[in-house]
Structures are given as structure tokens and as C-alpha cells.
A = this chain, B = another copy of it.
Amino acid sequence: VDLDLTEPGTVPKRVQATPSWLLARASARAHKLLVEHLSGVGVRPYHYRLLATLEETGQSSQADLGRAAHIDRSDVVAALKELETAGLVTRAPDPRNRRRNIVTLTPDGRHRLSAMHAALSAAQQAILDPLTATEQDELVGLLTRLTAAGQET
């Protein structure tokens, strides 16, 4: 490919230093690295977020899962269907509230989660690699403040 979207210098001057552009580029790079690392374990970011949420909170309904993992309920359906096909989770109707599905991590799903955690860590290291340890902490702090502010709106 002759088009390198991570290269910063050729974009219009009015765009070049804008936070929206820098965030888009940094996020695209991070996402690419994350997808690459997770694909080695056979999952996408959506899958991992759902599985990690499930591991942390135990059984839960799809709606609760989606809220906790920050994934829209309609997207949860599709991702969960794939995870069920892959044998990483099971879904069963909740006898106490028959609108709900109880989603449960299978032993195999729990097993493979450790490899996913490792892949996540490796991806984060690759993402932050160009920065010093101090800069990494600064960036995480600033981004945390920025995203915390966007949570209510």
C-alpha cells in the first residue's frame, strides 16, 4: 500500500495539529495493534470486552453485559452468538425472568481468557512503546480526564 495513514506530515495544516485528528490517528494505530494481538487468540475487541466483563462479574444478562462492557445491546447479540458458536460462552433463559438470557463463561472460555489477557497486555506495551514511562502515565492520566468528562454527555 502506498498510502500510510499513520504518517502525520502530509495532512492540511489546519488539520495537522487538531486533537480530533491526532486522537483519530493514535486510536487507529492502537486499535490496529489491539486487533492484531487479539486475532492471535481468535477474538475481536468486542469479544474480549464481553468475556473479560463476564469473568469479572460472573453470570449476567445480555443487557447488563452490554452496559458493563460499553457495547450496544444489539451488537451484544451478534458478538455473543459468535462466542457461543465458538464454545466460549453459553446462553440459557433465566427462569426467574424469562425475558432475560443468562450468559455464562464456559470452562474453555475461562481457559482461553488468560491468553487474551496476555495479548491485551502485549498490545498495550506496543502501543505505548514510543513514549517514556513518565509520558505513558501522563497520557493515560490526560485521556482518563478527557473520557471521564465525555461520560455524562
Q: Which of A19, A68, A127, A153 has the most CB of B within 10 A?
A: A19
Per-residue CB contact flags for chain A residues 3-42 toward chain B (1 = under 8 Å, else 0) read 1111110111111011110111111111101100000000
A133 within 8 A of B: no
A151, B56: Cβ atoms closer than 8 Å: no
Contacts A5-B67, A30-B20, A142-B131; A147 near B117 (Cβ below 8 A)? no
Residue of B11, B13, B14, B26 touching A143 (CB-CB under 8 A): B26
Interface of A is mostly: helix
Contact in complex: B52, A14 (CB < 8 Å): yes
Whether a CB of chain B sits under 8 angstroms from the CB of A43 is no
A83 to B40, CA, bound (A): 40
Which residues in B have their C-beta under 8 angstroms from that of A129?
149
Contact B64 A25 (CB under 8 A): no
List the B side residues contacting A147 at CB < 8 Å: 6, 8, 22, 25-26, 29
